[in-house]
């Protein structure tokens, strides 16, 4: 069974603009207009799913996509770091921040490790592969990074080498036996 998967990363929020770990904040006001502008570039989908987060649901709405939330598409659980600026962590908890960024098993914030995060999109993608068709997933940069690593069978230490910009569109296909990244115009 053939499956097409289109990942869409939500646009900017105040946390993203200020370098803080996210809370469940809305998109910035100008982000909604920017998001609407790319709606015409999307192909019809059989299913549209979002993270439960407000920013992803607003992204789907701005794209005129009727969607359902799916907890497997949620952002990383940043634990007690939610709402905290990364710059503050560099001075207040440099060892913890370094541990989290260098060890995929580490979760000094009391939330989710990169390894735990990576399990969710892998499981979700396999479920989608059994359903076939075209699915659009509106989610978060961290989760999409792990999905890419899963497809490439790259080590989780590569997590920090993948940048996902706000409103990025990443395409993947499943041919019945494996996932592949798809690049095109």
What CATH number is given to the structural domain containing 76?
A: 3.40.50.1240
- The span from the first CA to the last CA of the chain, in angstroms, equals 24
CA distances from 5 to 1, 110, 113, 117, 142 (A): 13, 31, 25, 19, 17
State how many domains the chain has. 1
Percent of the chain with pLDDT over 70: 99
State yes or no: pLDDT of 184 exceeds 80: no
pLDDT of the residue at 1:
83
Task: Give the residue numbers spanning the domain of 34.
Answer: 3-182
pLDDT of the residue at 42:
87
């Amino acid at each position: 069974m053939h499956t097409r998967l289109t990942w869409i990363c939500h646009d900017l929020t105040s946390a993203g603009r200020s370098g803080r770990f996210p809370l469940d904040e809305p998109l910035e006001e100008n982000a909604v207009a920017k998001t609407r502008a790319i709606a015409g570039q999307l192909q019809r989908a059989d299913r549209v799913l979002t993270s439960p987060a407000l920013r992803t649901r607003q992204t789907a709405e701005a794209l005129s996509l009727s969607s359902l939330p799916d907890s497997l598409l949620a952002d990383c659980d940043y634990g007690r770091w939610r709402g905290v600026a990364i710059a503050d962590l560099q001075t207040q908890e440099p060892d913890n921040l370094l541990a989290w960024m260098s060890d995929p098993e580490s979760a000094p914030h009391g939330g989710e490790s990169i390894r735990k995060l990576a399990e969710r999109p892998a499981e979700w993608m396999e479920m989608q592969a059994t359903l076939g068709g075209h699915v659009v997933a509106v989610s978060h940069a961290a989760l999409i990074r792990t999905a890419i690593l899963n497809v490439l069978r790259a080590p989780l230490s590569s997590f920090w080498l993948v940048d996902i910009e706000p409103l990025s569109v990443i395409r993947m296909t499943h041919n019945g036996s494996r996932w592949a990244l798809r690049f095109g115009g």
